[in-house]
Amino acid sequence: MPELQDQPALTIQGLRHRYAPNQPPSLIVPELVLNTSEQMVLTGSSGSGKSTLLHLIAGLMDPSEGTIRVAGTCPQSLRGQARDKFRGRTIGMVFQTHHLLMGFSALENVMAALMFSDIPRGSHRARAKSLLDTLGIATPDQRVERLSVGQQQRVAIARALACDPVLVLADEPTASLDPENAQAALDLLQQACRSSGSALLCVTHDTRLINRFDRNQHLPAPHEQLQETGGGA
């Protein structure tokens, strides 16, 4: 897919989102471009719409205004199954709470990310195993509920990277970890993205993470932005 390589991993223009038509916007992003393999952190207090932004990028919601393109494709232009498939193939997500599938092994959790893609089934196991190995999970057949919190987050990272996504979205990936584990997890996430060539967009309220990223940007809460520009909705 040479065209995909040429496109930025993420482009956002004139994005505004409201939960209901008559309400003030809950999220405003005038412009944002993230190039291939670039790593960026967006900081913002709670209420700035950080999680909403990630859900919009992932095509789990439709924005009220503006356009989002992931590797040149607007997820909102895709319908139903096509959009789900696009998300599975192009975007990896890491959450604050890992959201692993309970009752399944680490290996199965990673393979679950592959099962909805067009990657040949025969390669799933080896691929998942080597990813977990890279991330330091020595017991891939262990059920995830038996792993430590730090290990669980590593499995979640492996799962996000399973399909070699163009873009990895991380929503407060370190918030549920102690400082030591947080460091380690972030190191692994950034390293893994680099080696797979995936762009990384991380949203967090923790400003201490800023220095670790190529770029950082503050995402002000919408009411602050509206006061600055003096613009209304």
Partner 1 sequence: MSMSDWNIVTRSMRHRFFSSTITVLSVAVACGLVTLLISMRNAGENSFKRGTGNVQMLISKEPGPLPSVLNSMFYAQAPGNPITWAQFQQLKSSYPFAWAIPTQLGDSYQDAPVMGTDLSFFTSFQPAAGLSWSLQSGTYFEEPFQLVLGSDAAARLGLSLGDSISLEHGAPRTQGGHTHDEFEFSVVGILEPTGTAHDRAMFTSLESSWILHAHDRREAIFGHGIVTIADDLIEEDKKITAVYASLGDRKAALVQVLSALRRDPDWTVANPADTVGGLFSIVSNIDQVLLAMAIAVMLSSGVSILLALYNSMEQRRRQIAVLRVLGASRARVFGLVLTESAIIGLLGGVLGLGIALIGGMLVSTALAQRVGIVVEPALPIDGYLMIVLATVALSCLAGVIPALAAYRTSVVRSLRPVG
CB of 146 to partner 1, least distance (A): 13
Give the whole-angstrom CA distance, residue 233 versus residue 220. Answer: 16
Measured from the CB atom, the residue of 22 and 81 that comes closer to partner 1 is: 81
Measured from the CB atom, the residue of 33 and 112 that comes closer to partner 1 is: 112
CB of 71 to partner 1, least distance (A): 15
Measured from the CB atom, the residue of 175 and 233 that comes closer to partner 1 is: 175
CB of 87 to partner 1, least distance (A): 6
Note the residues at the interface with partner 1 (CB under 8 A): 51, 55, 58, 60-61, 80-81, 84-85, 87-89, 93, 95-97, 99-104, 108, 111-117, 121-122, 124-125, 159, 163, 172, 175-176
Q: Alpha helix (H) ranges present in 7-120?
A: 50-57, 80-90, 106-114
HSE-CB at 93 with a 13 A cutoff on CA atoms is 18
124 in Cβ contact with 114 (< 8 Å)? yes
Measured from the CB atom, the residue of 35 and 116 that comes closer to partner 1 is: 116
Measured from the CB atom, the residue of 125 and 215 that comes closer to partner 1 is: 125
Give the whole-angstrom CA distance, residue 110 versus residue 175. Answer: 22
CB of 109 to partner 1, least distance (A): 9
47 in Cβ contact with 222 (< 8 Å)? no
HSE-CB at 101 with a 13 A cutoff on CA atoms is 11
CB of 211 to partner 1, least distance (A): 25
Alpha-carbon dihedral angle through residues 107, 108, 112, 115, given to the nearest 10 degrees: 90
The end-to-end CA distance of the chain, in Å, is 39
Measured from the CB atom, the residue of 80 and 232 that comes closer to partner 1 is: 80
CB of 55 to partner 1, least distance (A): 5
